[in-house]
Amino acid sequence: MIYVQLFLAFFIPNIVGYGGGPAIIPLIEAEVVGRYGWMNAQEFAEVLGLGNALPSPIATKMAGYVGYEVAGAGGAVVAVLATVVPTLLLMLGALGLLYRYRDSPRVKRMSQWVRPVIAIMMAGMVLSFFSEGMAGAGLVHTSIIAAVAAIALFRFKAHPALVVVGALAYGGLLLG
């Protein structure tokens, strides 16, 4: 039964999510944290942070990690297959259709309407992570990490992986 749950937990977000990894992360969080309770929000945020620091698509890394934690190597295989195979099949099917109608105003409008939805979902996830950080580390540490991360990303154009590693180091040294 756990393999079926793992399959569904990663199959559904990857089928209904549009826009790649960042767009489906909130959907995966809803399944892993909300529906099945395999992790709490803090653990999910840590896995997401670590996953973002590593190369390759985030959804497959998340699936592999969660699958392995829940059901070992078999769980990792099931979760990764649930993430990759259905999406690949849908992409191959939809590619011909989208290519045929690529100049259609309807197709162009459809993709323009998806972007704000993704932005709202990402904002909700950021607020959730922020409240978890406030509960765990407190206002001062959360504010310091947020301010330094914002300055590093926007002012100095630092690579996001370096910012994540820096935040992990800060947390490990001062909060551990």
Average pLDDT over the chain, rounded to whole? 88
Predicted confidence (pLDDT) per residue in 104-159, tens digit: 888 888 778 878 888 898 899 888 888 888 888 889 999 999 999 999 999 999 99
Cα–Cα distance for residue pair 28/9, rounded to 1 Å? 7
pTM: 0.59
Return the C-alpha torsion angle 64, 128, 170, 137, nearest 10: -130
- The residue among 57, 61, 56, 54 whose CA lies nearest residue 76 is 61
In this predicted structure, what is the pLDDT of residue 4?
A: 96
CB 107 within 8 A of CB 18: no
Q: How far is the CA of 104 from the CAs of 30, 95, 100, 111, in angstroms? A: 34, 14, 9, 11
Predicted confidence (pLDDT) per residue in 6-64, tens digit: 999 999 998 887 767 778 889 999 999 999 999 999 999 999 988 888 888 888 999 99
Cα–Cα distance for residue pair 135/49, rounded to 1 Å? 18
Sequence-separated (6 or more) residues with CB below 8 Å from residue 41: 29, 33, 128, 129, 132
Predicted confidence (pLDDT) per residue in 60-107, tens digit: 999 999 999 999 999 999 999 998 887 788 778 888 887 888 788 888
In this predicted structure, what is the pLDDT of residue 69?
A: 95
Tokens of residue 168, six digits: 């992990």
